[in-house]
A = this chain, B = another copy of it.
Amino acid sequence: MGNIFNFSAGPAVLPKDVLIRAQAEMLDWHGSGMSVMEMSHRGKEFVSILEKTEADLRTLLDIPSQYKVLFLQGGAVAENAMIPMNLLNGQRADYAVTGSWSQRSVKEASAIGDIDVVAKADPFIQVPAYSEWKLNQDAAYVHICTNETVNGVEFDSLPDTGDVPIVADMSSHLLSRPVDVSKYGVIYGGAQKNMGPAGLCIVIVREDLLNQASPLTPSVFHWKTQAENKSMVNTPPTYSIYIAGLVFEWLLAHGGVAAIEQVNIAKAKLLYDYIDSTDFYTNNIANNNRSRMNVPFFLKDETLSAAFVQGADSRGLLQLKGHRSVGGMRASIYNAMPIEGVEALIDYMKEFEKLN
């Protein structure tokens, strides 16, 4: 197939420049004679890659020095279990449910410790008003998912949790917009949306939170142990870290997070404005919580959905089918999706509307 636009929710489109560079370096990284995949994680070559990757991420997100950056495995779902292991410390924690992923977080955490659901959207079309959240002042932390990949619900502000640290799953919008890291206790996310390949999970944790892990926490997921060992308690996912590093370099070269945010705002506006301009397509998410990254939409006549996907596929507009739990369509328009992809999608949507 020739030119395509890949709207997958993740693993997802990567910057073409990153793939071209990875291709060029596949057999010989910087004259080392080795592929990055073949390097000892403790050798000077890979250590330099890891250090630069962390430094670039710190620059991109302006991460304060009292936060540790960990490069882990297992995805956000593994972290869902490890968060209570690392933080609960015999206490309870508060969880807000605003979509499928925060609901999953509740399920995974409940197996480990005692948690309270303090806010729940029903249906998953907006973040409940903060005045309605039943926050517990003595909670170990408050867990939120700041962008719900399946449902397309994004936080536009933060609740006031006082001294209780916020733990945020940012898997699907980290690096898509500036974030004030200092407002969080923990930020985590799988890489396979805006950062790199599946198999890498990034955890940014305030260092005063590193002393409350359960002794049952496996060393590989014990944040303090990983912080002390620079994410090398065992072999980290080296190639995924390398690709993430290339993505970070690409983003820096394109003006960083503030610049990409403007592009993301423009792309999302284009698509939502078009959807709102016709009743052939609908998106029912509250305006202030519409995700810039994941845009679910429905055809008014759902019997046309299969034909819509088929026609899109044949034009190289790929992976538009909505999540099986929601149905309809979903266009994920991450950092690496060029605005031309959104324009091509809208052109197709217009044409499909005209024909049906």
Residues in A lying within 8 Å of B, measured CB to CB: 1-4, 6, 8-14, 16, 19-20, 22-23, 26-28, 31-35, 37-41, 43, 73-78, 80-82, 108, 111-112, 190, 192, 196-200, 215-216, 218-221, 233-240, 243, 316, 318-319
Q: Are A221 and B34 within 8 A (Cβ)? A: no
Q: How far is the CB of A174 from chain B (nearest CB, A)?
A: 15
Q: Within the assembled complex, what's the spacing in Å between the Cα atoms of A198 and B239?
A: 7
A-B contact sample (6 more), CB < 8 A, given A6-B38, A237-B240: A10-B235, A11-B37, A77-B220, A80-B218, A111-B219, A237-B237
Out of B28, B198, B220, name the residue touching A236 (CB < 8 Å).
B198
Q: Are A240 and B77 within 8 A (Cβ)? A: no
Q: How far is the CB of A247 from chain B (nearest CB, A)?
A: 11
Q: Are A75 and B73 within 8 A (Cβ)? A: yes
6 A/B residue pairs, CB under 8 Å, sorted by A? A1-B28, A1-B32, A6-B33, A13-B34, A37-B196, A73-B75
Out of B1, B40, B235, name the residue touching A33 (CB < 8 Å).
B1
Out of B19, B38, B75, B112, name the residue touching A27 (CB < 8 Å).
B19
- The number of times this chain is found in the oligomer is 2
Q: Within the assembled complex, what's the spacing in Å between the Cα atoms of A215 and B112?
A: 8
Known: A11-B235, A234-B75, A235-B11. A6 touches B19 (CB 8 A): no
**In terms of DSSP, what is the predominant structure of the interface of chain A?**
loop
Q: Are B38 and A13 within 8 A (Cβ)? A: yes
Q: Are A14 and B40 within 8 A (Cβ)? A: no
Q: Are B43 and A220 within 8 A (Cβ)? A: no
Residues in chain B near residue A9, CB distance under 8 A: 40
Q: How far is the CB of A329 from chain B (nearest CB, A)?
A: 14
Residues in chain B near residue A31, CB distance under 8 A: 1
Q: Within the assembled complex, what's the spacing in Å between the Cα atoms of A311 and B324?
A: 58
Q: Are A43 and B236 within 8 A (Cβ)? A: no
Closest to A35 in B: B19
Q: Are A221 and B78 within 8 A (Cβ)? A: yes
